[in-house]
A and B are shown apart, each in its own frame.
Chain A
């Protein structure tokens, strides 16, 4: 039940984009088309989970024993940056098809604050390894969900006549706001 609660909260009531404000840059940038947002979402889920596991291990076995929690930011981001680049290179060589599908999003992920954010949140809230994995995947799914909904909205908005000043980021933000309002309905449904 506890894990289910984590999943529910991570996807709906505490959606990483719509109520935690993480990953806004890709949210504004990559939600122009549904297929690219799905691709980006998949890449995020993958990297996020890997990064969360590695950083969790790093934190437990290296930083905590030596009392070096203050180094988390530096150590984590180093790991994530390295990891992303490794994944990118390996994918490019070993699985070009998958690379073409996901690879173009990988550089964007390094500076996607969701990855570092989730890694930090995991260790800050004292998740064990299973919770970490579940939480990361669920958060990634929540991110993907928010991305895909917005991509659907923006694809539709492509076909309407609207003010040039509001087109793009502005209307995306307003729509995200209203979506976020709608997601508020899930508040309080499950408590951790």
Chain B
């Protein structure tokens, strides 16, 4: 022993998992979704995703004065998630501003990864939505052309406006919509990877999708229940946005409440609100409530007998 011994607190072994490895897992999980987006909407979708990721990573690297663009990978995830909520081909500057807002305002105002209260990608998306709704909502939904990588863009109304898409199309994704929200199939494949790696818990997606389905039943039976689940951003939101570790509760009961809240607000906006889609607002609102939910749902300690009220 020529060097000094190391002394530290127990435990002396650590799992190989790091933040970076988790972020890479999330990127892997988003890969089928991204692939599907390119398959349906062509190379313009790829361009949107790359612009968003690069802008997000560059913003973070500048803020942290870090040379390594990828870093812990969280900025890449945020950028890609933001792109997933955007239409296939918004103007490039809209994407860049969205990424800058997401990383700058949504994340680094709070001191960076882990400290933010609101999901950065959704903050970016909400700001874009309020600022330039003509570019990110409205008449921007390009009709999907499978294998039409360079096909001309023809827009059509969102299935959340028309309510006439077939459930099969919604499941496969051959409908118009934001890059990452059309194909429930791809989203589920990605989410299975995350489940397998233990990065998401069934509670948030389960309660979110469950309550959307149940409320959908009231909107027109089984068909509408499924329609509400498959159309729009519910799958993307429930599987990838609401499950964002940083901005969702850590307690098991809290996760259920969180998912329920997201679903209820989403459906309230869809059914009664002034906008066709409410996933973004639902999740952002519940993000704000997360600290309170955590505080109110402290788990029962091992061996503790709940005091009878």
Question: A contacts B directly in the complex (CB < 8 Å)?
Answer: yes
Q: Is A178 an interface residue (CB 8 A)?
A: yes
Contact B110 A157 (CB under 8 A): yes
Residues of A within 8 A of B288 (CB): 149, 152-153, 175, 178-179, 182
Segment touching B, from A57-65, A123-131, A132-140, A160-168: A160-168
Interface of A is mostly: helix
Task: Report Cα–Cα, A172/B288, bound state, in Å.
Answer: 12
Interface of B is mostly: helix
Nearest CB on A from B247, distance (A): 11
Chain B stretch 9-31: residues in CB contact (< 8 A) with chain A: none
- Known contacts A34-B295, A189-B272; A157 and B115 CB within 8 A of each other: yes
Closest 7 CB pairs of A and B: A188-B274, A185-B281, A162-B111, A152-B291, A182-B284, A160-B115, A152-B292
Residues of A within 8 A of B167 (CB): none
Q: Is B57 an interface residue (CB 8 A)?
A: no
**How many residues of A sit at the interface, in one of the four size bands?**
20 to 34
Q: Is B127 an interface residue (CB 8 A)?
A: yes
Contact A174 B109 (CB under 8 A): yes
Contact A171 B268 (CB under 8 A): no
Chain A stretch 147-162: residues in CB contact (< 8 A) with chain B: 148-149, 152-153, 155-157, 160-162
Spell out A's residues near B (CB within 8 Å).
34, 148-149, 152-153, 155-157, 160-163, 166, 170-171, 174-175, 178-179, 181-190
Task: Report Cα–Cα, A100/B120, bound state, in Å.
Answer: 40
Contact B274 A187 (CB under 8 A): yes
Contact B291 A153 (CB under 8 A): yes
**How many residues of B sit at the interface, in one of the four size bands?**
20 to 34
Task: Report Cα–Cα, A174/B288, bound state, in Å.
Answer: 12
Nearest CB on A from B217, distance (A): 20
Q: Mark B81-110, 1 if CB is under 8 A from A, else 0.
A: 000000000000000000000000110011
Task: Report Cα–Cα, A156/B287, bound state, in Å.
Answer: 12
Contact A156 B109 (CB under 8 A): no
- Known contacts A171-B109, A189-B272; A181 and B292 CB within 8 A of each other: no
Residues of B within 8 A of A175 (CB): 117-118, 288
Residue of A nearest to B106 (CB): A178
Q: Is B269 an interface residue (CB 8 A)?
A: yes
Q: Is B145 an interface residue (CB 8 A)?
A: no
Residues of A within 8 A of B117 (CB): 153, 156-157, 175, 178
Nearest CB on A from B43, distance (A): 32
Task: Report Cα–Cα, A182/B280, bound state, in Å.
Answer: 8
Contact B291 A162 (CB under 8 A): no
Q: Which of A171, A186, A187 makes the CB contact (< 8 A) with B110?
A: A171
Task: Report Cα–Cα, A186/B272, bound state, in Å.
Answer: 9
Q: Which of B106, B111, B118, B284 makes the CB contact (< 8 A) with A161?
A: B111
Chain B stretch 114-167: residues in CB contact (< 8 A) with chain A: 114-115, 117-118, 123, 126-127, 130
Chain B stretch 256-309: residues in CB contact (< 8 A) with chain A: 265, 268-269, 272-275, 278, 280-282, 284-285, 287-292, 294-295
Contact B291 A181 (CB under 8 A): no
Contact B285 A182 (CB under 8 A): yes
Nearest CB on B from A151, distance (A): 8
Contact A181 B123 (CB under 8 A): yes
Task: Report Cα–Cα, A7/B113, bound state, in Å.
Answer: 37
